[in-house]
Every structure is written in C-alpha cells, then in structure tokens.
Amino acid sequence: MTRSNADIGRGLLPARDGSPIRRGERIHVLGAAGAGASAAAMLARRAGAEVTGCDAGGATPYSAALEASGIQLDWQHAPEHVTNPSSGPVERLAVTKALTAVQPDHPELRAASELQIPVESWQQVIADVAATTGQRLVAIAGTHGKSTTSGWLVHLLVTAGRDPSAFVGALLTPELATDVPATSRWGWGDVIVVEADEYAGNFDAYLPSVVLLLNAEWDHPDVFADEEAVLSAFANWLRRATAGGRRPVLVANVGDAGVAKLMRRMDGWPGDVVTTALVDDHEPGAVISGRLDHDADGRSVLYLERPDQPSAAFQVGLPGRHNAANALAICGAAQVLGVDDEALRHSLASFAGVGRRLELKGEVDGVTVLDDYGHHPTAIARTLEAVRQQYPGRRLWAVYEPLTYHRTALMLDQFADALAGADAVAIADIWPGRDPDTTLTSSAALADAVARRGLVAAAAPGSVEATADHLAARVAAGEVVLVMGGGRSYVIAERLLELLRQRDRRPAQG
C-alpha cells in the first residue's frame, strides 16, 4: 500500500543545488493552477524567465494571480506545449512529483522525454529563483502549520521593512502578496521564505540558511510507511542543508514529541539550533519558551522567556495552542534574522492568517462559516479547539472532505476521534487526488466510525455540492460551521453561504 519516495518521484531529475535562472529561459509549468506551481511560475517570471503554463483542471483560487501577472495559460494538456509552443522552444518542464507516479505516460512528460528536455519539480524552480536573487532562504517545515507560519513570517518581515520574496502554500492577502491574492511574493530584501513540504522529498530542492521545524508526525501513508520514515526524511533533508560548507540555523519546536525525537538523532549536526517550546509541552531547557494565557476578552497572550532578555507578554492574534507554538517559531526566526521586538509585537498581534487556514468566509442568517485546509487528525483536533476558543458556547459543525483513500483508511480511527470533538459532523466524498483506489474506504465508513463514538451525529451526504445542500437544510442561527479538507472542500463553504443568503431572503411564512 505504501510506495517509496523514489517511486513517487520517478521520472524526475534528482534535486540539485539551485542555479540562477537565465534571462529569457523558457520554462513550461504543468499543472500551473496549483498552489505551489502557480508560485513557481510567477517567481520564475519575475526572475527573468519566459513562462507558460497549462492545467486541465480549470480555474482555481490561485489562477487569477497567474493571469494578472501576464502568464499565458492553456486549460488543457497537449504535447504541443512542449514540442511546438508558440512562445518558442521549451528549455525545461516544471511539474509536481505526484504526477509522475499517477500519470507516468502523460503526453507532455513523454514529449519532454523524447526531446530530452529536462523535467524538474516546481520546487526546483523556486530554489533556482533563490539562487538568482541571492536571498537568504528560510524554510518552514513540519506536518502541520506550514502555510500559516510561512505567511506569518512574511508578515513579520514586511512589518520590519525587509521586503521578502516568498512561496506560501496558501493565498496571501493582496497587501502581503502585492496587488492580488497569491501564493507568492516578489521582494527586493535579503530573505526568501519558502514553505517546505516533506511529501516524497519535495523539500529536497531547498538548501536553507534557516529552518523552522514546527512538528513531525506520521502523514502521507502512500509515501511514508511509519513515523520512522517521516523522521528519516526530515533528518536527511536537514543534513543536506549543510552541503557546500553552509552553517544553517534550525529553529526547532521541541515541545512537539516528533521534533524532540528527531533532535535526539541529530547529534553532531554541524549547524546551530534554537529550541522553542510552550511551557508544559517540554522538559526544561528550550532556548525560547512561552506560557500561554488569555486576556479578559479570550484573546491569546504569550508570556515569553528568552536568553538575556526580560520576560515579556505578547498578544497573539490567531487562536489556539497550536498557533501559540507557531508564534514561538516566529519569535525564534525574529531572533535569528535580527528583527526587533517592535515589529515582532505588531506582527504577533495583527497577523490575521492566510487563505483557507481558519478563514472566516462569512456570517449569514446567524450562521458563521469558516474554511480550513486541515486534513490530518491532529490538525483537525487543534483547529476544533481553536474554534471553541474563538466562538465559546456555540454549537459547532465539523464538515470534512477526506484527502485520499490511503490516508483515510489507515487513519480512520484517528480521524473519527478528532471529528467527534464537534457537535455535529458531515463527511463529503473522499477527494482521491493521486490515490484512485476507491476500494479502501469511503466517506460513509468514516461517518459511521464517528457515530460509533456515541457523542455526535454524523452523515455522509455525498459530493461537496450535496454536502453544502445538506448543511443548508439543517444549520441554525448561532451555529458555527467549520469546513475542512484539501481537495474541493472550499466549494462547500462558498455554496453554503450562497444557500444561506437565499434562505435569508425568503419572505417569512404566515
């Protein structure tokens, strides 16, 4: 059931040190409407490349920024994109690694192979952008919280006047992305922030100067057999970061059990380490520690302890213990990158998050609708806790679109335990992504597992559209609906809000 990193990444050239993008170099991005691929396309264009892209899936929340940047998109795949493009001969093809496993005979991949055109991951393109600009690469890694923390670091550096470049796996606001919501930012400062994903060694292209490691848990069961495989992937990447005589800095959340295990195997690593942890999450000794409390209005307050500095209280604008831990990572980055406390204090308090990370989509007819990318049991549980903190006393719906059949089958009980923390649950059809084996499990099986906990009613209405319809007929004023998932779950939130608006406009009966 589990494939190796090499299997997932077959057909791609191995990760290499970044090399500058040549002005006028022609790069074609396959699947360009994705979160990461769109960022690679836009950053490469700003670095001087001639970029084209295609995506058969149609428009996405990320494609508007591509079109606004002037990148030519085709909404179909065709070998002519590689063999006879109108813009001139393609010099390399950028693609997501998972595609080479699911569609190794994809016509554009086959055309590139026949013409001996290099095929590389879009992460390699971003690494080459960093080599082009010469900016200090700061990578945010971990099983959960990467996008939020990457966006937060961008916000901190913008606040401090450092004008960073960035790739973040979720939409940045127009103010951070400059002009339109996007997953990339082009800046002229000294830092480029990248979200570094462990799936199939996606982060191997990045050779960071600074790493923020938030947590480490078993995930991606189609790639990693167990926790040991996950920890080995992180350890191998961190060791690779020292290639070429570099001395990187690791900001490690040792309050996380997986990170603590990882650190015990990193003895002799020739980099510097700054440890962080929330009080009560670790054994004493973290370089930067914090105690989480709340003010009279329920907002998070972090009491910070740092070397050679007096204790200080910082308000944290994002709710939840997990975001307090992410805030500590931001504090560690501020120390390493030389950001002063004035900018840090402002950013911790004012950062409002990134797209689809506990994002308030709207409030209609007394119903609050939130959208989140959470698709791992731990992320779901922590997000539910944060919503309970933010909306105390209100009835909470957990609405989840599971991501891939393997993950859902192998973690079924953990998902059920996490979702049972809500007051009502709806499970949409599983988003297959790169995993088409429908025999493994179903959304109905997960709903049954939640119901067996005996704490909450759970239903499996069907598609994301049918799930929104199911909710619209049942949610009541005063309730909170938290939509989660990594596929098309955002459709649930958007459709539900429209249905609630229609409901709100109906004339009163009688």
pLDDT in tens, 124-158: 999 999 999 999 999 999 999 999 999 999 999 99
Q: Say yes or no to pLDDT of 284 above 90.
A: no
393 neighbors 366 (Cβ within 8 angstroms): no
User: How large is the average pLDDT for residues 175-184?
Assistant: 90
Window from 126-135, 283-292, 406-415 with minimum mean pLDDT: 283-292
Q: Say yes or no to pLDDT of 510 above 60.
A: no
Confidence band of 5 (pLDDT split at 50, 70, 90)? very low
What does DSSP say about strands 359-364 and 367-372: parallel, antiparallel, or unpaired? antiparallel
The residues facing 430 across adjacent strands are none
Burial class (CB in 10 A: 0-12, 13-18, 19+), 433: middle
pLDDT at 244: 63
pTM score: 0.86
User: How far is CA 154 from its chain centroid?
Assistant: 14
List phi, psi (to 5°) of 254.
-75, -5
361 neighbors 183 (Cβ within 8 angstroms): no
pLDDT at 86: 74
Q: What is the CA radius of gyration of the chain?
A: 22
Burial class (CB in 10 A: 0-12, 13-18, 19+), 29: buried
pLDDT at 329: 98
CA-wise closest residue to 473 among 496, 491, 453, 490: 496
Confidence band of 376 (pLDDT split at 50, 70, 90)? confident
pLDDT at 506: 64
Q: Say yes or no to pLDDT of 320 above 90.
A: no
Q: Say yes or no to pLDDT of 100 above 50.
A: yes
Q: In this prediction, what percent of the chain has a pLDDT beyond 70?
A: 94
User: How large is the average pLDDT for residues 374-378?
Assistant: 86
User: How large is the average pLDDT for residues 16-26?
Assistant: 91
pLDDT at 407: 86
Query: What CA–CA distance (Å, rounded) separates 121 from 96?
Result: 6
pLDDT at 283: 57
pLDDT at 161: 97
Tokens 């914090």 map to which residue?
290
Q: Say yes or no to pLDDT of 3 above 50.
A: no
Q: Say yes or no to pLDDT of 487 above 90.
A: no
472-498 burial by CB neighbour count: b if 16+ within 10 A, else e? beebeeebbbbbbbbbebbbbbbbbbe
**Cα torsion angle, 21, 27, 33, 36, sign:** negative
User: How large is the average pLDDT for residues 199-228?
Assistant: 91
CATH number for region 359-504: 3.90.190.20
User: How large is the average pLDDT for residues 37-62?
Assistant: 93
Sequence-separated contacts (24+) of 370-373 with Cβ below 8 Å = 370/480, 370/481, 370/482, 370/483, 370/493, 371/483, 371/489, 371/490, 371/493, 372/482, 372/483, 372/484, 373/147, 373/170, 373/484, 373/485, 373/486
> pLDDT tens digit string along 335-353?
999 999 999 999 999 999 8
Mean pLDDT of the chain, nearest integer: 90
> pLDDT tens digit string along 457-477?
999 999 999 999 999 999 999
pLDDT at 354: 87
pLDDT at 8: 41
Q: Is 32 or 268 the better-scoring residue by pLDDT?
A: 32
Window from 211-215, 353-357, 370-374, 441-445 with minimum mean pLDDT: 353-357
Q: Is 444 or 178 the better-scoring residue by pLDDT?
A: 444
Domain coordinates of the chain in residue numbers? 5-124, 135-350, 359-504
User: How large is the average pLDDT for residues 307-331?
Assistant: 93
Classified by CATH at the fold level, domain 135-350 comes out as UDP-N-acetylmuramoyl-L-alanine:D-glutamate ligase (3.40.1190)
pLDDT at 9: 43
pLDDT at 7: 42
Homologous superfamily (CATH) of 5-124 is: NAD(P)-binding Rossmann-like Domain (3.40.50.720)
* Secondary structure element (H or E) that encloses residue 367, with its range: strand 367-372
pLDDT at 6: 39
Instruction: Give the best-scoring range by mean pLDDT among 7-11, 172-176, 250-254.
Output: 250-254
3-state secondary structure 192-253: EEEEECCHHHHHHHCCCCEEEECCCCCCCCCCCCCHHHHHHHHHHHHHHCCHHHCCCEEEEE
Confidence band of 72 (pLDDT split at 50, 70, 90)? confident
pLDDT at 267: 86
Q: Is 135-350 the same fold as 5-124?
A: no
Confidence band of 102 (pLDDT split at 50, 70, 90)? low
Q: Is 158 or 284 the better-scoring residue by pLDDT?
A: 158
